[in-house]
Structure 1
Amino acid sequence: MKNILIIGGGLGGLSAAISLQSKGYQVTIIDENQHPGGKMMSVKMGGYSFDFGPNTITMPKVFQSVINDAGGDSSSYFQFEKLEKHTKNVFSNGKVLFQSANPEEMIAELRKFDSLGASRYREYLKEVNRLYLLAEKSFFYRVFDSWKDYLSPQLSRSFMKVRPFEKMNHFHRRYFRDEDVLKVFNRYATYVGSSPFSCPATFSLIGHLEMNDGVYYAKGGNTSIATGFRQFFEEIGGVCKFGTRVEEIIVKKKRVIGVSTSDGEFLMGDDVIINGDFITATRNLIREEDRLSFPNKKLDSYQPSISAFVILAGVKEYQESIHHHQLFYSEDYKKEFDEIFKDKRLPGDPTIYISHSAATDPNITKGSNLFILVNAPAIDLKRDEIVQYKEKIYDKLENHGIFIRDSIEVEKIFTPNTIKSKFSAYKGALYGIASHSMTESFLRPSNVSKDIDRLFYVGGTTHPGGGSPMVTISGRNVANYILNRDKV
């Protein structure tokens, strides 16, 4: 029986672990944190329950298939509920637009703002569906272990059809005219940690997932996906070592042979899968002489994705006006992204996102559990900056009629500093590498190590990219690569 070691128990590591364990491998997950799921983390304080992230769930079949394909019944571990009117968008002038996967409802909403958008909405849905189907067929479910893989005629044809040279903002202006409506659809760039004015229009396919397929919530909290994965994995014989840090990946003659841990153990592995930030894991766990393709200088040259300034606020009075997913947009959206990526400072007028899962699932928490997020650059923040910016966020909410400051019973703040230390994230970035240049978008670090045999990477910083479904798919892809190699 072959031993597989997985460093990190996020969704990518868990999905790879389940797929391999169910096929007869002995898999061990090693994670320095005490919980499964990585950034999909539950935070409980004083009777309040929060999902740190991700908050928006799409592609539920991706998660279900991990357990179902391994011989289990995913409904025994987590269940999904579709949110009909999934997002409430509030603009600087106070106007509100609700998003829905029902096209008739969306057209009615768009008529209030954008006659062109209303008339072209079905055309938009058709195009983002086309982008998604192309990406799903040609890109999502495969491992690129050599640059030559990108040169196949079929892949080249597909690549040219997914609008790789057009920017997302330009693409959306084909269908929408109103500047506020454009913000709603351009926000999809932040799902891959990027700016809509810099990232390829290819990522507009996210619109298909939300506006055609729909947005979902895992009952009891989205973290139930991760806890369900862990439970099933252990039930089929997998081993979890949480609270254990990997100190080094041991390489001999250009082949991985195991890892050393903070417990002083050496664990042997026939294969090692890294489920963590590609840059920090590569730099911190592998000796530079063993990774000639990724010396420190190259690793330090990557542009980090968006980070976040997050407030978890437990409010004793239930906030009936706050939707499950709600946004308060900045007046000048382009300026906000320029401040983040060019000036590398906190936005002066931030767009505020709130996840209020109690709006759908009130029994999971007391009062209102507000996950309040502002996009931020991946920089270190000083204590006085953190305090001042928190008050700025509360001030903006009050300008929109949300008075919660005096009703907060529990509060916890996460900054780029926190994310960097808690999740070993590159400079505190949420998605690792930004998806702005062609290389960053389409030639992300491979799932297969270029330098070390039997070493693999899964997670949002490698192919196929960020977002919980893609991360889960990356784990399945690597597992299938190993299974095909071993002809299991």
Structure 2
Amino acid sequence: MTKVGIIGGGLGGLTSAMLLAHKGFDVHVFEKNDHLGGKMMRMTLENAQFDFGPNTITMPDVFQRILQKTGVNPDDYLQFIKLETHTRNYFSDGTTFDLSTNKEEMINLLSQFEGEPAKEQYAKYLREIERLYRLSDRYFLHRTFTSWRDYLSPDLTKALLQVKPLQTLDSFHRTFFTNENLVQMLNRYATYIGSSPYIAPATFAMIAYLELMDGVYYVKGGNPTIAEALAKRSKELGVHLHLGVEVTKLEVSNKEVHAIELSNGDQIKVDEVIMNGDLLSVYPSLVAPEHRPSFSEKKIQRFEPSISAFVLLVALSKRFDSFIHHQVYFSSSYKEEFEQLFNKKQYPTDPTIYICNSSYTDKSVSPDGDNLFILVNAPTSSTPLDLEQYKQVIYKKLKRYGVDLVPHIKAEMIIDPTWIQTTFHAYQGSLYGPASNKMKDAFLRPANKARDLSNLYFVGGSTHPGGGSPMVTLSGENIANVLISKYS
């Protein structure tokens, strides 16, 4: 029986584990933390439960399909709740906009910002973002890059030229809308991949398709239920799940990984290895430089890390009427905010604030009051910060919007980029691996297979097809398919 060692129990690793075990592989998952799911983890303060990312779920069919591939009914494991009106956006001029999958509601709201042309412009916008998504789904998302030759496919090249790789996301949105608030609201999709809308390619407008047409979802019981469902199915299929044990070294000879060394001193012989961790930090920590000449320290330093996050988990003693499931309080100058983040490597002086209040949809996760996951974009962990002082910046800004949290706080916790770096071995605390600010990093993300080692594969947000729960799940499926084909 072919033995596969999987380093890291995030969504990508769990997906590979589940699909490979279903096909008869002997699969072992090694996770340094005491939970599975990576950044998709549960956290609790008082009796309020929080999801530490991701808070926004799209593409539920991805998770349902991989469960179904193992011979079960996905509805027995996951119940997705669609949020029709999903995100309330607050702008510095006092206006608001509720994003929705209801087309008529969207047109009515857009007309208040754009006037009579709104209906026609929105129809054109939806057609274009759907086109971008369909091209990506057909030619890019399900393709596995295990060799540089995979990038030379004529159909891939043709598709890349059709997805506006040379236009920025900001420029793209300005071809449809003139209102600055609307452009700012739509430009925020760049942050879903940890990048800047003023640099990232227009291709990523396809994320808007997922939210505005396909839908935004919440999983009953909390979004980490997805990870728990994959872990449960993996266990049912015989996957060996090793929690609280860290892989410390990969034993290599003749350009092949022969064994995995663990923090408890054990050495596990393996035939194949899948690394589900941040490629920029985990790979170099486990494999000596002489065994990875194609991935040198110099090459690693050429990658620009994506943005990180400053997070507040806040359990309240009351519920605010103004909150829905998702809300965003925008900065007065988005361009200045990203200038500070990427060019000056500073915390924004006027940050855009995202808040998830999952108890709006599911009271069971916080029966006594709102459970607020508050996030602002942050530079990487190399930037020092007074945590308490910056927390007050956020609370004061929310108070200016009429949301005075402080008198109603029962418990709170601060999470900064250093915590993210330590907890998840995330490169400089980045959330999404390399940023997608350069065309190379957007379309030619690190391949899913080590160039120098014949049996080492990569899954997760730092490799192809990119960050976000559905994408990392697809990476796990893609590599499982490669190994299944290899041994069939």
TM band (smaller chain): over 0.9
Q: Is the 8 A contact 1:163 1:201 kept in 2?
A: yes
Please give the alpha-carbon distance, in whole angstroms, between the structure 1 residues aligned to 2:480 and 2:212.
Answer: 31
Please give the alpha-carbon distance, in whole angstroms, between the structure 2 residues aligned to 1:480 and 1:256.
Answer: 20
Q: CA deviation at 1:117?
A: 4.0
Q: CA deviation at 1:119?
A: 3.0
Q: Is the 8 A contact 2:308 2:431 kept in 1?
A: yes
Please give the alpha-carbon distance, in whole angstroms, between the structure 2 residues aligned to 1:199 and 1:299.
Answer: 20
2:430 maps to 429
Please give the alpha-carbon distance, in whole angstroms, between the structure 1 residues aligned to 2:147 and 2:355.
Answer: 41
Instruction: Give SS of 1:432's match.
Output: coil
Name the aligned partner's letter for residue 352 of structure 1: I
Are positions 1:449 and 2:450 aligned together? yes
Q: CA RMSD in A?
A: 1.0
Q: Aligned in 2, Cα 1:15/1:249: closer, same or farther, shift over 3 Å?
A: same
Q: After the TM superposition, which of the residue ranges 58-67 and 147-156 deviates more from structure 2? A: 147-156
1:480 maps to 481
Please give the alpha-carbon distance, in whole angstroms, between the structure 1 residues aligned to 2:247 and 2:148.
Answer: 30
Q: Is the 8 A contact 1:20 1:27 kept in 2?
A: yes
Q: Is the 8 A contact 1:4 1:269 kept in 2?
A: yes
Q: Is the 8 A contact 2:346 2:383 kept in 1?
A: no
1:362 maps to 363
2:64 maps to 64
2:217 maps to 216
Q: Is the 8 A contact 2:345 2:383 kept in 1?
A: no
1:174 maps to 175
Please give the alpha-carbon distance, in whole angstroms, between the structure 1 residues aligned to 2:157 and 2:78.
Answer: 38
2:89 maps to 89
2:315 maps to 314
Are positions 1:225 and 2:226 aligned together? yes
Q: CA deviation at 1:301?
A: 2.3
1:466 maps to 467
2:388 maps to 387
TM-score, length basis structure 2: 0.98
Structure 2 counterpart of 1:377, from 372, 376, 379: 379
2:7 maps to 7
2:126 maps to 125
- The C-alpha deviation readout for 1:213-265, integer Å capped at 9, x for no partner, is 01000011000000111011101111100100000111111011121000100
Listed as ranges, the matches of 1:80-229 within 5 Å are 80-115=80-115, 116-229=117-230
Please give the alpha-carbon distance, in whole angstroms, between the structure 2 residues aligned to 1:118 and 1:284.
Answer: 53
Q: CA deviation at 1:407?
A: 1.1
Indicate the percent of aligned positions where both proteins have the same amino acid.
45
Please give the alpha-carbon distance, in whole angstroms, between the structure 1 residues aligned to 2:157 and 2:226.
Answer: 35
Q: CA deviation at 1:149?
A: 1.7
Instruction: Give SS of 1:354's match.
Output: strand
Q: Is the 8 A contact 2:310 2:415 kept in 1?
A: yes
Please give the alpha-carbon distance, in whole angstroms, between the structure 2 residues aligned to 1:11 and 1:186.
Answer: 27
Please give the alpha-carbon distance, in whole angstroms, between the structure 2 residues aligned to 1:80 and 1:133.
Answer: 23
- The C-alpha deviation readout for 1:419-438, integer Å capped at 9, x for no partner, is 01111000000001000111
Name the aligned partner's letter for residue 291 of structure 1: R
Name the aligned partner's letter for residue 248 of structure 1: K
1:272 maps to 273
Are positions 1:404 and 2:413 aligned together? no
- The C-alpha deviation readout for 1:376-397, integer Å capped at 9, x for no partner, is 11134546x1111000000000
Please give the alpha-carbon distance, in whole angstroms, between the structure 2 residues aligned to 1:78 and 1:393.
Answer: 34
Name the aligned partner's letter for residue 68 of structure 1: Q
Q: Is the 8 A contact 2:36 2:231 kept in 1?
A: yes
Q: CA deviation at 1:76?
A: 1.5
Please give the alpha-carbon distance, in whole angstroms, between the structure 2 residues aligned to 1:20 and 1:132.
Answer: 28
Q: CA deviation at 1:147?
A: 2.0
Q: CA deviation at 1:118?
A: 3.9
Instruction: Give SS of 1:326's match.
Output: strand
Q: Is the 8 A contact 1:381 1:415 kept in 2?
A: no
Name the aligned partner's letter for residue 434 of structure 2: I
Q: Which aligned segments of 4 or more residues in structure 1 are displaced greater than 6 angstroms?
A: none
Please give the alpha-carbon distance, in whole angstroms, between the structure 1 residues aligned to 2:272 and 2:437.
Answer: 32
Name the aligned partner's letter for residue 147 of structure 2: S
Q: CA deviation at 1:406?
A: 1.7
Are positions 1:30 and 2:30 aligned together? yes
Q: Is the 8 A contact 1:381 1:417 kept in 2?
A: no
Please give the alpha-carbon distance, in whole angstroms, between the structure 1 residues aligned to 2:402 and 2:382.
Answer: 31
Please give the alpha-carbon distance, in whole angstroms, between the structure 2 residues aligned to 1:464 and 1:381.
Answer: 28
Q: Is the 8 A contact 2:305 2:427 kept in 1?
A: yes
Please give the alpha-carbon distance, in whole angstroms, between the structure 2 residues aligned to 1:316 and 1:28.
Answer: 43
Are positions 1:21 and 2:52 aligned together? no
- The C-alpha deviation readout for 1:385-416, integer Å capped at 9, x for no partner, is 11110000000000000011121111111111
- The C-alpha deviation readout for 1:303-350, integer Å capped at 9, x for no partner, is 110100000000011122111000000010011001000000000100
Please give the alpha-carbon distance, in whole angstroms, between the structure 2 residues aligned to 1:80 and 1:265.
Answer: 40
Q: Is the 8 A contact 2:294 2:452 kept in 1?
A: yes
Q: Is the 8 A contact 2:381 2:421 kept in 1?
A: no
Instruction: Give SS of 1:350's match.
Output: coil
Please give the alpha-carbon distance, in whole angstroms, between the structure 2 residues aligned to 1:341 and 1:117.
Answer: 33
Please give the alpha-carbon distance, in whole angstroms, between the structure 1 residues aligned to 2:54 and 2:74.
Answer: 19
Q: CA deviation at 1:283?
A: 1.3
Instruction: Give SS of 2:67's match.
Output: helix
- The C-alpha deviation readout for 1:437-464, integer Å capped at 9, x for no partner, is 1111111110011000110000000000
